[in-house]
Chain A
Amino acid sequence: MYKFSSKLKSLSIALMVIGILGVGYGFFSAPKTVEEVKKEMSHDSHGSHHGGESKAHLEKEALAKIDNHGHEADASHGDADAHAEHVLHQKQNRPWSALYVSVLFFALISLGVLVFYALQHVSQAGWSIVLLRVMEGITAYLPVGTVLVFVVLVLSSMHANHLFAWMNGDLINPDSPDFDKLTFAKKGYLNVPFFLARAVIYIVGWNLYRHLSRKRSIAMDTANSLDIYKRNFKRSAGFLVFFLVSESMMSWDWIMSIDHHWFSTLFAWYVFASFLVSAVTTIALVTVYLKSKGYLENVNDSHIHDLAKFMFGFSVFWTYLWFSQFLLIWYSDIPEEVTYYVTRFSEYKVPFLGMVAMNFIFPVLLLINSDYKRIPWLVVMGGIVILAGHYVDFYIMIMPGTVGGSWSIGIPEISAILLMLGLFIYIVFTALTKAPLLAKGNPFLKESEQFHY
């Protein structure tokens, strides 16, 4: 049995405390009124907040038709007041977005682990049985993580923030000056009750599978027959079908609808690739940690090698999807779509291109060597870069639509990461103490114990 070391426990609690304080500070320091924003803006030299005249101009041009907040740029609004109000909304969104990115990122990591876990069952993998309990431990975060996401979604629906611009009732009110035809056309799908109902269905579906598969896994430890194993196999296949559909819709709902004028058919699979590679990386990191503490005696360097291969492979896969989406939109340069990348390229250039280095170039160069894939510290190093890179990926997906040019990575963002990381560590490692780290009763256990590549 694993024992949660008091050092790690204190660390996770410390992270949560620091995180909460920082998140609180983020909300406290966000401007409350337009006046505050104006004062702040006058401190900055003319227009520098948007990176100079040319960039502001570019942005205006690109967003002339499709504005982040959904309303068509109105001539009468085009003065300093409107701009200040716009910036106020962005700045008020910042602590919320910072929190949302982190909450979503960690929840999707544990969802990704659950998918990987289900894949191990349906593919009858023989190598990964000794890692199943590690994966189960990580998915223990799923109920907490998804409920936290849901809380943010509910708060957004109650207009506590402006993360989802389409939730603004004025956009679909034909009598309002802010009326937006496009948003109105989408209201059959983008409306709060349906949006929240869908979220409930995804969250319940995922957690149900996680709960039952964990129960069956524990029951299998003492079972004499293969009945439970077979049931697990079937349920995992069912879950994967549910996941394929729910993940697509989840990506449209929770991420794509932030830029609700924009659309891309590839988007859902791209999001999936991003959190799947992060999930495998997390499995590798937790495994290496537990192994270093002497808990996973059956895990050898071949298991680490396999995990590192998946980190490598899925990193390439993510890049493939990232590039496909980018190239196709860049190539045909259709105004409705290209605004998405125009804002990202003009306002988020460093993180936007930096993430490609972190998510592709670095892991690919590091993990192509088969000896390196067996060296724990190299895998950990690659893993940390991959995780940071995919945090940036989620950041880039969410921030431009919520805070626009007013972004930065400061106290609110880092605190939100620390808070969720502390919570993640606390829940995952607590869950690991609940059951033996070796799942007995799986018919492939012996293959996994003897696994050598």
Chain B
Amino acid sequence: MASHYEAPIREPLIIGDKSYHDITKDVAAPVEGKANKQWWIVFIISMAAFLWGAGCMLYTIGTGIGTWGLNKTVGWAWDITNFVWWVGIGHAGTLISAVLLLFRQKWRMAINRSAEAMTIFAVVQAGLFPIIHMGRPWMGYWVLPIPNQFGSLWTNFNSPLLWDVFAISTYLSVSLVFWWTGLLPDFAMLRDRAVRPFQKKIYGLLSFGWSGRAKDWQRFEEVSLVLAGLATPLVLSVHTIVSMDFATSVIPGWHTTIFPPYFVAGAVFSGFAMVQTLLIIMRKVCNLEAYITLQHIELMNIIIMVTGSIVGCAYITELFVAWYSGVEYEQYAFLNRATGPYAWAYWMMMTCNVFSPQFMWSKKLRTSIIFSFGISIVVNVGMWFERFVIIVTSLHRDYLPSSWTMFSPSFVDIGIYVGTIGFFFVLFLLYARTFPVIAQAEVKSILKSSGENYKKLRDGNHE
């Protein structure tokens, strides 16, 4: 069959002499084994951070938003920065599972499961901020257009913040469904291997009675393609809508038309960096180096490099157009970024986002695991600063100099952010112990075309 043919020049995606059974064993091992000491240490640290963050959230809700560092001029700072940052991180999962599926990238198969898990956990963190940054979060349900006793008082559909509600909730639900559908055959595998009745029961429930018949597989594939086709515009539109929180405004530095695609590029950029950070650790601790290979890391680095360059191009475009526009407020907004009191944040962002991914042009650097790990952290720091710079530097100095001010976060701002990082890792660590972290059903489908042993067998004959 043609689908099994692959050009000899392509490098193998599965290293070693693996069989279908080996894949099953390797993927099931972390789930079937016991957690070691390091896992518990990291878990407890994450849990502590989470609990601390939860305490900060409760304190905010109980006492008031005034516990944060916000002021009358800068009404959005760490809350929305973190929101956009987490949503951005969440974008890589859908990109890997949907966009790379549409582009028939076989290498996505080893990383899509964890990338999607990361998406869902990141979107959960993001989803906290729109609620806790409300002055009256208990009225949060008013954002929903539900018939009520106030003469059916409805929401105004003109606000991007309302679009956010729809975007994020749709994004979370579609990602969840997409992820879960993909999990069915893998949960069924864990169910069939389980020896303890409790585990068998749990994975039996989770796998929805998947029995892997031809008709099921056929529909499974079709559903995946349709969901990928829907998730791709979704992933673009979600971050577009997030970007419109700023771009629809009239604030200099916020009102710019490039935001929709540029935020999406930035989201892919930071999301891939986060996937890189997580997978470099995961392949090591879960012994998955045969599946998440150096080539996977290199390809992710290339995507980081490409999206980093697109983001860089957008920065330069913004700078150019600010000058070209002849609008002095716009020009000042950018001058303030580069030379004002937050210049350190701006240059931090520039260094991390524009310069650091350019190292990836070197094959030596992008195939170095240590270097990739370092850059992936640097990129996420940079992307946090990007959102911070966009939000705070545009707000703290705008039209009226009498309203100029500064912003500095309180311990509660910081505590909540740390708390979401803790919560994210709590979820991800639990996931890594209980879910099949590699889509074994998908990886098995490329074993014979892209497995090292099969490639050698096939290409050895005529070379």
Chain A residues close to B by CB (< 8 Å): 123-124, 126, 181-182, 185-186, 189, 226, 241, 244-245, 248, 252, 263-269, 313, 316, 320-321, 324-325, 327-329, 331-332, 334, 336, 443-444, 446-447, 450-452
Contact = CB atoms under 8 A, between A and B. Distances in A.
Contact of B318 (A265, A269, A443, A451): A265
Q: Which 9 pairs from chain A and chain B are nearest by CB?
A: A265-B258, A266-B257, A450-B2, A324-B260, A443-B9, A331-B248, A266-B258, A263-B325, A265-B256
Contacts of A452: 2-3
Contacts of A248: 313, 317
Contact of B236 (A226, A269, A320, A450): A320
A124 B249 CA distance: 42
Interface of B is mostly: helix
Contacts of A331: 248
A446 B255 CA distance: 50
A328 B309 contact: no
A264 B260 contact: no
Contact of A266 (B261, B324, B325): B261
Contacts of A189: 324
A245 B7 contact: no
Interface of A is mostly: helix
Contacts of A332: 248-250, 255
B353 to A, nearest CB: 16
A334 B326 contact: no
Contact of A446 (B5, B233, B320, B325): B5
Given A324-B260, A327-B248, A447-B5, 17 more contacts: A181-B326, A244-B309, A263-B321, A264-B321, A265-B318, A266-B256, A266-B260, A266-B261, A267-B257, A320-B236, A321-B260, A321-B261, A324-B240, A328-B259, A332-B255, A334-B255, A447-B6
Interface string B296-327: 00000000000001100110011011001111
A334 B237 CA distance: 24
A446 B258 CA distance: 41
A329 B2 contact: no
Nearest to A320: B236
B8 to A, nearest CB: 7
B280 interface: no
Interface string B225-240: 0000000010011001
A324 B261 CA distance: 9
A369 B5 CA distance: 27
B110 interface: no
B244 interface: yes
Contact of B258 (A244, A269, A447): A269
A328 B248 contact: yes
A126 B9 CA distance: 11
Contacts of A444: 7, 9
8 contacts: A244-B313, A264-B257, A265-B257, A266-B256, A324-B260, A336-B325, A443-B7, A447-B5
A442 to B, nearest CB: 9
B309 A241 contact: yes
A180 B378 CA distance: 46
A267 B320 CA distance: 13
A268 B310 CA distance: 12
Contacts of A245: 313
B247 interface: yes
Contacts of B102: 313
Which of B233, B240, B320 has most A Cβ within 10 Å? B320
A264 B321 CA distance: 7
A268 B240 CA distance: 17
Given A226-B9, A447-B5, A450-B5, A334 B260 contact: no
Nearest to B361: A237
A264 B260 CA distance: 13
A313 B310 CA distance: 20
Contacts of B257: 264-267, 324-325, 328-329
B317 A126 contact: no
B359 to A, nearest CB: 15
Which of B5, B8, B260, B310 has most A Cβ within 10 Å? B260
Interface string B1-16: 0110111111000000
A32 B170 CA distance: 60
Contacts of A123: 103
Interface in B412-460: none
Given A264-B257, A324-B257, A244 B6 contact: no
A407 to B, nearest CB: 25
Nearest to A317: B236
A328 B7 contact: no
Contacts of B261: 266, 269, 320-321, 324
Given A265-B318, A268-B317, A332-B250, A186 B2 contact: no
A154 B314 CA distance: 29
Contact of B244 (A185, A328, A443): A328
Contacts of B249: 332
B298 to A, nearest CB: 13
Contacts of B237: 320
A267 B326 CA distance: 17
A332 B6 CA distance: 52
Interface in B17-61: none
Contacts of B258: 264-266, 269
A98 to B, nearest CB: 28
Contacts of B310: 244
